[in-house]
């Protein structure tokens, strides 16, 4: 077993927390600029954000929608649906890990 193996779950939690914080920063930039409709779309420069993996993922999931030129806007309705799905997935994974931990505890 790798000497740092017990720290792997903690590292995963930290990575997920950092990614979620950065995702919230992207969403907040759209909200603060009122870029929540096609008519109010803004460029990434106007929003003060960069074209990152997390930004591209939000575009892929249609939470952030391309508009005219290089502008984008936040689809609040779609964000609500995606966030609900993410919460369900996280809950399912958490319950699965808890069950797995319980099984490993009982058989050891």
Task: State the pairing for strand pair 71-74/64-66.
Answer: antiparallel
Sheet of 71-74, strands arranged across = 42-43, 71-74, 64-66
pLDDT computed for residue 102 by the predictor: 86
Q: How confident is the model at residue 64 (pLDDT cuts 50, 70, 90)?
A: very high
What residue numbers bound the domain in which 29 lies?
5-107
Counted domains in the chain: 1
For residue range 1-57, list pLDDT tens digits in order. Answer: 667 667 777 787 888 889 999 999 999 999 999 999 999 999 999 999 999 999 999
């Amino acid at each position: 077993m790798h000497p740092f193996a017990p720290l792997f779950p903690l590292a995963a939690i930290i990575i997920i927390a950092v990614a979620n914080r950065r995702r919230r920063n992207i969403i907040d930039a759209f909200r603060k600029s009122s870029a929540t409709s096609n008519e109010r779309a803004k460029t990434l420069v106007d929003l003060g954000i960069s074209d990152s993996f997390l930004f591209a993922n939000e575009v892929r999931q249609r939470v952030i929608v391309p508009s005219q030129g290089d502008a984008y806007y936040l689809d609040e309705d779609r964000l609500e649906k995606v966030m609900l799905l993410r919460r369900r997935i996280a809950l399912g994974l958490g319950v699965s890990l808890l069950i797995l931990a319980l099984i490993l505890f009982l058989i050891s």
